[in-house]
Structure 1
Amino acid sequence: MNLSDLDGMRRRLIGLVPAATLDDERALRLHFAAAVWSCLTEPGDAVAGAAIAALGADEALELVLRPPTSADKAWRDGLKRWKPRIGTVDDALAAARRAGATLITPTDPSWPHSLDDLQAHVPHCLWVRGDVSALDARRPTIALVGARAATTYGEHVATDLAAGLVSAGVTVVSGGAYGIDAMAHRASVTAGGMTVAVLAGGVDRLYPAGNAALLGRVIGGAGAVVAEVPCGTTPTKWRFLQRNRLIAALATGTVVVEAGWRSGSLNTAGHAASLGRPLGAVPGPVTSAASAGCHRLLREYDARCVTSAMDARELIGLDGAVPGVGTDTRIDDRTRVLDALSARATRSVVEIARRAGLDPEQSAALVALLELEGRARRVDDGWQLAAGGARV
């Protein structure tokens, strides 16, 4: 491997970066070096991060390829960790190309600079599948996280929050896992909004497998799936914990929807608090162990109580929809659902969907949003038009 071999670097990055990057020698070196660093290090490697911050990704990598005769112990230990992985770089880049991934680095206009708050622990690059613009820092972003073993209550709240947020132009970030994460992504997709799933493994391995179809829908047009580790990387407990810092850093604020006393979601909350990001938690039944972690955040960490999408928007300083971004874009569909509701008869989601001419999943998300607006109400196993929720 040689950073003076421009043709070799260009050949390896074809299909992963814009053509303009391939034609710019400095940009080419920086992108290739960032990709290599993502292969050599584990997430959050502070020794590598400090060297890159001081020298740049390419010059720091030169010190790995041609190490100085003398170096401090931390650097020598780093070399022992990194050098055995140099042989994995070509396979990782080839896997990324097969997966249709895009490589973005801190020098790219599309880089989400909120990650820079991680300082020495900032990722060297991001591997992205889907719409890179989902990472646009100009869009307000809220992380919705919670238990994998979610209750029906938690899933319902996550659905309502996500649908209400994306309809107001807020991007929903989560971790792609079962439970609360999956419901947040699914509701965002169904409501026609933008969502970002941050994985602990490579973006070529949609994990967990049971959510592969959902993550495929995100990639297909509803947002992006991202990771800091290269393609081919297996998710491990350590990488999940490190992944959580990215979720917290990407988001303007974090809301924990449901979490047990020792839930991994509290790790994400801890990262959000350490970064000075607003933190919210959804209260649950006091008898529910699945909400004990949320109650702990409310009691011990000054988390704000969040019970609606409006509360979540207020958490990050938004009083209404984002001007010019997703503002009331689904008003026609909401009107169709309102037309399908009755003030007297209780109708199921399937019946509402049939009357509105929409699919049941879409109708479920929209009627939940109308409930948040006070225009629909749940009655037993169905829905009615709420008092004052008349069609306009």
Structure 2
Amino acid sequence: MDALTATLALMRLQGMGPSRYWSLLQHYPSAVEALEQLPATLLEKLPPRAREQWREWRQCGDASTLMGWVQREQALCIELGASLIAAGSDAYPALLAQIPRPPPLLYVRGNPDALHLPQIAVVGARRATSAGLDNARAFSRELAGAGFAITSGLALGIDAAAHRGALDAHGVTVAVMGTGIDQLYPRRNAALAEEILAGGGALVSEFAIGSGAEAGNFPRRNRIISGLSLGVLLVEAALRSGSLITARLAAEQNREVFAIPGSIHNPQSRGCHRMIREGAALVETAADIVDELGGLLSEVPATDSDLSQMPPLDGVEQRVIAALGGDHRSLEQIAATTGQEPGALMATLLQLELAGLVETLPGGYQLTGRGARLLTAMT
């Protein structure tokens, strides 16, 4: 029996989990010996089903239910074109191996070498603002252009925008899943997952094939996202969110944590502001991240093709952009600053919204990420 087979069998035992697995491996030199000599003290802590599984294996060997499952799991990986990587093997990502109790197993669809690239995790809210989505995509595009792989969680919102930003730059992106690698969640991102694979990236999970989207899986997924990465960029996050958990895990794992500040009126900025108060680096451009990491890779491209392709704005539109600045403002505040009548101003704001420069929020308006970059270029 090899180490991979033994690890699969151990992790199949009901109630085992990464914590008990690593406690067990402190007393045995390999997963094979741990499986063969499973101590009675641990067996008593596991559910009755696990004790039945192990004792049947000791009696029946390869004919046992446990080994039947292991063989089917390996066969399913072959059908999916997936790799199985056990902790301790040369194929296991070195950075991930450094975190406390890393996943004993990784299921990988796509390019396993992507896990060894220098990675930046980009995470944030599922219900992100247009500005947050713009920032996630722009930062990811620029960081991918500088040579980083972009790692995120394949969720709606910021995660999906981060993956797409990397693909825009023809870069590599890694999606860490809270389900089995055959269970794409959410289904709306199934096409995105295929693009990630076609672009030389990877889908990664520690969960067995067929595992569904259970709430308890996602905190475990988050520690992998941060553990694979040199640093984590928090784009938008509420004070109670999985993204904030990922950022805090990154800090505990001695990874760099970066956060994009936002409007004090945007609830999705409060998590970023909290992390900045707790020591995260405030960043305004992707170059800030490259500089903080010691220039490991090439510089971020200076041009923004997104802005260069935009038609020029007239004087009124430029004044409205300047009046909005970097904050959330009401129609009355913008009118007072620009001197525009409300009716004409609303028409201008609509044109700017259609151009992707402004977005409507409850009680007013704010610049999108593209609009904020235009404001910087204007000043």
Shared fold per TM-score greater than 0.5: yes
Aligned position for 2:155: 177
Distance (whole Å) between structure 1 residues aligned to residue 374 and residue 284 of structure 2: 20
Question: In the alignment, which of 90, 97, 101 is matched to residue 116 of structure 1?
Answer: 97
1:27-68 Cα distance to aligned partner (Å, 9 max, x none): xx01212233343367953121122344311111213xxx45
Equivalent positions of 1:128-143 (< 5 A) are 128-136=108-116, 139-143=117-121
Equivalent positions of 1:126-205 (< 5 A) are 126-136=106-116, 139-205=117-183
Closer/same/farther in 2, CA of residues 218 and 42 from structure 1, 3 Å limit: farther
Equivalent positions of 1:59-70 (< 5 A) are 59-63=33-37, 67-68=38-39
Question: In the alignment, which of 8, 33, 51 is matched to residue 6 of structure 2?
Answer: 33
Distance (whole Å) between structure 1 residues aligned to residue 180 and residue 199 of structure 2: 19
Equivalent positions of 1:68-87 (< 5 A) are 68=39, 71-72=40-41, 74-78=42-46, 80=48, 82-83=50-51, 84=53, 86=66
Distance (whole Å) between structure 2 residues aligned to residue 336 and residue 297 of structure 1: 31
Aligned position for 1:350: none
Distance (whole Å) between structure 2 residues aligned to residue 341 and residue 179 of structure 1: 24
Question: In the alignment, which of 60, 74, 78 is matched to residue 93 of structure 1?
Answer: 74
Distance (whole Å) between structure 2 residues aligned to residue 338 and residue 288 of structure 1: 25
TM-score of the pair, normalised by structure 1:
0.71
Amino acid at match of 1:178: L
Residues 147 and 297, structure 2, Cα contact 8 Å, conserved in 1: no
1:167-215 Cα distance to aligned partner (Å, 9 max, x none): 0001111111111001001111121001110001111111111101101
Answering whether residue 30 of structure 2 is matched by residue 56 of structure 1, we say: yes
Q: How far has the Cα of 1:335 moved from its partner?
A: 10
Closer/same/farther in 2, CA of residues 95 and 148 from structure 1, 3 Å limit: same
Aligned position for 2:347: none
Aligned position for 1:206: 184
Q: How far has the Cα of 1:80 moved from its partner?
A: 3.9
Distance (whole Å) between structure 1 residues aligned to residue 234 and residue 151 of structure 2: 12
Distance (whole Å) between structure 1 residues aligned to residue 34 and residue 284 of structure 2: 47
Q: How far has the Cα of 1:303 moved from its partner?
A: 0.9
Residues 104 and 110, structure 1, Cα contact 8 Å, conserved in 2: yes
SS at match of 1:280: strand
Q: How far has the Cα of 1:228 moved from its partner?
A: 1.0
Aligned position for 2:334: none
Aligned position for 1:287: 265
Q: Identity of paired residues, percent?
A: 35
Aligned position for 2:197: 219
SS at match of 1:187: helix
Answering whether residue 85 of structure 2 is matched by residue 104 of structure 1, we say: yes
- Larger Rg, first or second structure (1 or 2): 2
Amino acid at match of 1:165: L
Aligned position for 1:356: none
Q: How far has the Cα of 1:79 moved from its partner?
A: 6.2
Residues 48 and 78, structure 1, Cα contact 8 Å, conserved in 2: no
Q: Kindly indicate whether structure 1 or structure 2 has the higher relative contact order, using CA contacts under 8 Å at least 6 residues apart.
A: 1
Aligned position for 1:26: none
Closer/same/farther in 2, CA of residues 379 and 206 from structure 1, 3 Å limit: closer
Closer/same/farther in 2, CA of residues 192 and 37 from structure 1, 3 Å limit: farther
Distance (whole Å) between structure 1 residues aligned to residue 178 and residue 8 of structure 2: 17
TM-score of the pair, normalised by structure 2:
0.73
Stretches of structure 1 lacking an aligned partner (at least 5 in a row) = 4-28, 347-367, 369-376
Aligned position for 2:327: none
Distance (whole Å) between structure 2 residues aligned to residue 88 and residue 273 of structure 1: 37
Distance (whole Å) between structure 1 residues aligned to residue 14 and residue 298 of structure 2: 40
Closer/same/farther in 2, CA of residues 180 and 103 from structure 1, 3 Å limit: same
Residues 129 and 203, structure 1, Cα contact 8 Å, conserved in 2: yes
1:290-315 Cα distance to aligned partner (Å, 9 max, x none): 1111111112x211112211122233
Distance (whole Å) between structure 2 residues aligned to residue 254 and residue 310 of structure 1: 14
Distance (whole Å) between structure 2 residues aligned to residue 162 and residue 55 of structure 1: 41
Residues 280 and 305, structure 1, Cα contact 8 Å, conserved in 2: yes
Question: In the alignment, which of 312, 318, 321 is matched to residue 298 of structure 2?
Answer: 321
Query: Cα RMSD between the aligned structures?
Result: 3.3
Distance (whole Å) between structure 2 residues aligned to residue 266 and residue 161 of structure 1: 18
Answering whether residue 301 of structure 2 is matched by residue 310 of structure 1, we say: no
Residues 51 and 60, structure 1, Cα contact 8 Å, conserved in 2: yes
Q: How far has the Cα of 1:107 moved from its partner?
A: 3.9
Distance (whole Å) between structure 2 residues aligned to residue 336 and residue 122 of structure 1: 40
Q: How far has the Cα of 1:341 moved from its partner?
A: 6.6
Residues 307 and 370, structure 2, Cα contact 8 Å, conserved in 1: no
Residues 4 and 86, structure 2, Cα contact 8 Å, conserved in 1: yes
Stretches of structure 2 lacking an aligned partner (at least 5 in a row) = 54-64, 316-356, 358-368
| Equivalences, count | 314
